[in-house]
Amino acid sequence: MSGKVYAIIPAGGVGSRMNSDIPKQFMKINNRPMISYVLKAFEESQVDGIIIAVSDEYRDMLGEIIQEYGISKFLCFVQNGKERVFSVKNALDAVQDEDDYVLIHDAARPMVTPELIGHCIDGVKKHEACLVAVPVKDTIKVVSEDMITDTPDRSILYAAQTPQCFRVKALRDAYRKWEEEGEGFIPTDDASLVEKYSDIPVRIIEGDEKNIKVTTPGDIKVVEMMR
């Protein structure tokens, strides 16, 4: 199957754990806004366009970043939602052709590379649904009321990252079914929506341990050392 490829960047997070007056995606890493690294990676990749879900309050700031860093593949802003899933749906609605593809990437994962994005494009064109993930190194414990209830086999556990990648029709069909049958279920990532409301298997693309999500102030220092 052929089709265009679009990056969707949900950029509506507030970063409550960062102790900052601005959302974390606008915080500086080596004197550059965090989101500029994300946008530049997609600009230098094979994607055809970039769609950003963000509130009206931060569109001017993002517009300045887009201009300063020469992001020519930027297509449009869409309104962010109260939850990530609604932000992605608003962005998905901006893509017309159901045979196109979307790569959904966290605005707070600034270590993504054009090479990893290229692997995602190859993967989604082959499989229709895939995500970047890395094998879990630590032993994982399932806990209930401060007591361990299970120790799952580490060899079958992966930590999900982004991009998470889908043929537009596959993701749109999953959204439709979720709206009909969801009954209050709010997916925490895009793949879980397809896993639950689609028969299309979601494949794994080997990720990069450097592709971390910035969540705390300490993560900023880690990314600065890797940059």
Note down pLDDT in tens along the chain; length 227 residues.
569 999 999 998 766 667 678 899 999 999 999 999 999 999 999 999 999 999 999 999 999 999 999 999 999 999 999 999 999 999 999 998 999 999 999 999 999 999 999 999 999 999 999 999 999 999 999 999 999 999 999 999 999 999 999 999 999 999 999 999 988 899 989 999 999 999 999 999 999 999 999 999 899 999 999 98
pLDDT of residue 84: 92
pLDDT of residue 52: 98
What DSSP designation does 80 have? Answer: P
Give me the residue spans of the domains in the chain: 5-226
**Which residues lie closer than 8 Å to 136 by C-beta, 6 or more apart?**
154, 157, 158, 159
pLDDT of residue 101: 98
Q: Where are the alpha helices (DSSP H) in the chain?
A: 34-43, 59-68, 84-92, 114-127, 168-181, 190-197, 217-226
Greatest Cα pair distance, the chain, in angstroms, is: 52
CATH superfamily of 5-226: Spore Coat Polysaccharide Biosynthesis Protein SpsA; Chain A (3.90.550.10)
Dist. CA 223–CA 227, nearest whole Å: 6
pLDDT of residue 17: 63
Dist. CA 178–CA 172, nearest whole Å: 10
pLDDT of residue 227: 87
